Amino acid sequence: MRIDYPRRGRTGVRHWLPSWRQLLSLAVLGVVSLVGIFFILVARTDVPAPNDVATAQTTIVYWNDGRTELGRLGDANRISVPLEQVPLLTQHAVLAAEDREFYDEGGFSPKGVGRAIWNNVSGGDLQGGSTITQQYAKNAFLTQERTLSRKFNELILAVKLDTSVSKDEILGDYLNTIYFGRGAYGIQTASQQYFGVPVEKLTLGQSAALASIIRSPGGYNPDTHLDKLKGRWTYVLDGMVEKGWITPAERAAAKFPAFAPKKPVNRYAGTNGYLLDAVRNALLQKGISEDDIGSGGLRVISTFDQKAQQSAVDAIKNEGPVKGAKGLRIGLAAVRPGTGEVIAMYGGPDFLTNSINNATQALGQAGSTFKPFALAAGIEKGISLDSMWNGNNGVSIDGYKVTNYGDESLGQISLLKGTEKSVNSVYVALSKEVGYDTVVDSAIRAGIPADTPALTPVVRTVALGVSSPHVIDLADAYATFAARGQQVNPTVLKEVRGGNGGILFALDPTPKQAYSVDTADTVNYALRKVVTDGTGKTALSLGRPAAGKTGTTNDNKSALFAGYTPDLAAAVMLVKDGPDGLPMTLSGVGGLSTVTGGSFPARIWTAFMKGALKGSPVQQFVEPSNLPTASPSPSLSPTVSPTPTPSVAPTVSPSSSPTPTPSDTPTPTATPTPSDTPTPTVSASVAASP
């Protein structure tokens, strides 16, 4: 049986399929529409002025309120010059480096744009291949992001520029706004920054060097990547020969130039210069490039609090020593417990005068400010504040004869009393009992960096503070106690946004429990007693519960006070450079024969804390669960501590062992720093106490 299937007619499926003519018509219509839309966008696009471009590229740093400007990184360091003032050799060098066909092409390179689109889509190397016109357009769009949308916007402006502005005008604006590194925008400023001459006096070699830097000011930085810069310099000169802009003989005669030393720009003047420099270094550590910092239009909210910072400056001005202060370095840092936010930092009086930050770079022995780490280690081992120890001068422990401050002998005293009075013999014995390595481990857990000078190899006097932590590290470690054992690394960044407004970094601290809550509460109790009944009584005038510790070295080459309330920790250090740049004794500073941690450092700390905490509610410490026997809670006025009830604990008796040789207390060395900013160090000796 044959089945007749219905034949497809004009009303069948085939009738609804478009013909090739229809497809072609739709494609043409689509292209015409896109072209029309594109040129409408071009017509509506305004050409930005060079000043608008340069300002938009500035990285702005704010105080922690996110509104008040602290300073800028990469702003205002620009001097415009007419194109005719720029030597033709310099113009040709830039063209050889960036766009050899500039005068022969349209505003954009189809090949370069195509390559960029393919790389963006395929996930390959996000590169541009842009013409000079496109580079200027990219800078005008205020963002360095490498996306298709930015590339499209850049393309629109490039076409607008090419159809409405002359090539000479484009090149002139480009040369006046492009970033050259060292905070220099434009060819004139770059010429002065790198060679100390106006642009019209640039030589062929200098011109080729500046042109070489444009591609990546950080990657071809003559201060750090000289070999790479030389390779790029050769490429530029060879390109000039290829284009006929110089002769082979001129190429052979060209000499690679010598660069002038880098000059700090005026935006770093004063005490705030240290803050801006700290922000810049923190951005680099986050992987943000030098180029993006200089020309990426970043918006940075720092952790610095304007009121607290002013309090730090005022405290040092009003409470710091005047007499004998030549060569004196004072460093201060304040950290929020639990978040690591550095709200104030005094690195020195003027960054332009001396760029070494006394809070983050200068070194001085910790002295007895290191004892709380040994105390915490002892508490973790079950040693109570009531435990009794030999507090006499001259006690020999592991062959080391311990000297107490002022050669004072106190007989059998409790660990609490030994902490209040900062008795060296008690703390060397405690360190031996818990293990010297354990003391170091305790300090590292609190926040003292493992690479701190003289922290290792471990010595018997480790608890006396022969190591040399930076002030900011000491403040952060004490913030760990204030946060009831929670440690967070210090930071100066709260939020970073890119030029397009996208968030690049947002502070989200993740505390680590370095000590148990009970251990931290017990350390806090003991250090509160240092303030109410011991060597830190100067801090009583703060008028709110506070804990702290003084620190002084036997040779008086450093004096410190580190302390905290439950909501803020801070450390202050005084060290002094001698005429030869080497550390010298503080004797005579402020008219004192011995500068102890309880003198100027404690006064500065107290004045700072008063201002920084003014208007904030008074916070109370949590009492430890193992309150020492018959010991009252520390009050805001000095008290006489009752004699603690003895408990079973190690007791160390004096012996006649000889005083150790200098090898027992090795000299710390400074953490490496850039060669142009040598870090001052303080020679080691066994630390004194108050």
Positions marked catalytic: 98, 368
Helix (H) or strand (E) holding 506: strand 503-506
Q: HEC states along 335-374?
A: ECCCCCEEEEEECCCCCCCCCCCCCCCCCCCCHHHHHHHH
The answer to whether 150 touches 143, Cβ cutoff 8 Å, is: yes
d(CA 93, CA 91): 5
CB 242 within 8 A of CB 234: no
Q: Which residues pair with 397 in a beta bridge?
A: 400
Query: In sequence order, which residues have a C-beta less than 8 Å from that of residue 658 and are 6 or more positions away?
Result: 399, 401
Give rounded-to-5 percent helix, strand, coil for the chain.
40, 10, 45
Q: Is the peptide bond before 650 cis (omega within 30 degrees of 0)?
A: no
Question: Who's near 357: CB < 8 A, 6+ residues apart?
Answer: 274, 277, 278, 331, 345, 347, 348
C-alpha 656: how far from chain center: 49
Burial class (CB in 10 A: 0-12, 13-18, 19+), 587: middle
Strands 59-62 and 299-302: parallel
Is residue 439 within 8 A of residue 374, CB to CB? The reply is: yes
How far is residue 567 from each of residues 485, 513, 570, 593, measured CA to CA in Å?
Answer: 13, 17, 10, 35
CA dihedral of 148, 152, 155, 159, whole degrees rounded to 10: 170
Contacts of 659 (CB under 8 A, 6+ apart): 400, 401
CA 238/CA 248 separation, integer angstroms: 9
Ordered DSSP codes for 67-99: SSEEEEES-S-B----GGGS-HHHHHHHHHHH-
Helical spans, DSSP H, in 123-198: 132-140, 148-164, 167-177, 187-195
Cα 287–291–292 angle (5° rounding)? 65
In the structure encoding, which two tokens stand for residue 143, read together? Answer: 């963002």
CB atoms within 10 A of CB 331: 30
Candidates 413, 402, 364; CA nearest to 561 is: 364
493, containing H or E segment? strand 493-497
Listed as own residue / partner, the contacts of 531-534 with beta carbons closer than 8 Å and 24 or more positions apart are 531/563, 531/634, 532/634, 532/635, 532/636, 532/637, 532/638, 532/639, 533/420, 533/634, 533/638, 533/639, 533/640, 533/641, 534/419, 534/420, 534/421, 534/422
Burial class (CB in 10 A: 0-12, 13-18, 19+), 134: buried
